[in-house]
Amino acid sequence: MNALAATNRNFRHAARILGLDSKVEKSLLIPFREIKVECTIPKDDGTLVSYVGFRVQHDNARGPMKGGIRYHPEVDPDEVNALAQLMTWKSAVADIPYGGAKGGIGCNPGDLSKSELERLTRVFTQKIHDLIGVHTDVPAPDMGTNAQTMAWILDEYSKFHGHSPAVVTGKPIDLGGSLGREAATGRGVVFATEALLAEHGKSIKGLTFAVQGFGNVGSWAAKIIHERGGKVVAVSDITGAVKNPNGIDIPELIRHKESTGSLKNFQGADSMDANELLVHECDVLIPCALGGVLNRSSIFLKIVPWFFSF
* Alpha-carbon span 23 to 9, nearest angstrom: 16
Q: H-helix or E-strand containing 181?
A: helix 181-199
* Alpha-carbon span 305 to 181, nearest angstrom: 34
Residues 6+ apart with CB under 8 A from 282: 208, 209, 210, 233, 234, 306
Single-letter code of the amino acid located at 221: A
CA-based radius of gyration for the chain: 20
Active site residue 102: yes
Our CA dihedral for 290, 294, 296, 299, rounded to 10 degrees, sits at: 120
- From the candidates 23, 43, 66, 102, give the one annotated as an active-site residue: 102
* Alpha-carbon span 41 to 97, nearest angstrom: 36
The β-bridge relationship of strands 65-71 and 48-59 is: unpaired
Q: Where are the beta strands (DSSP E) in 25-130?
A: 33-42, 48-59, 65-71, 99-105
Answer yes or no: are the C-beta atoms of 30 and 48 closer than 8 Å.
no
User: What letter does residue 53 receive in the DSSP assignment?
Assistant: E
Answer yes or no: are the C-beta atoms of 145 and 68 closer than 8 Å.
yes
Catalytic residues, by residue number, are 102
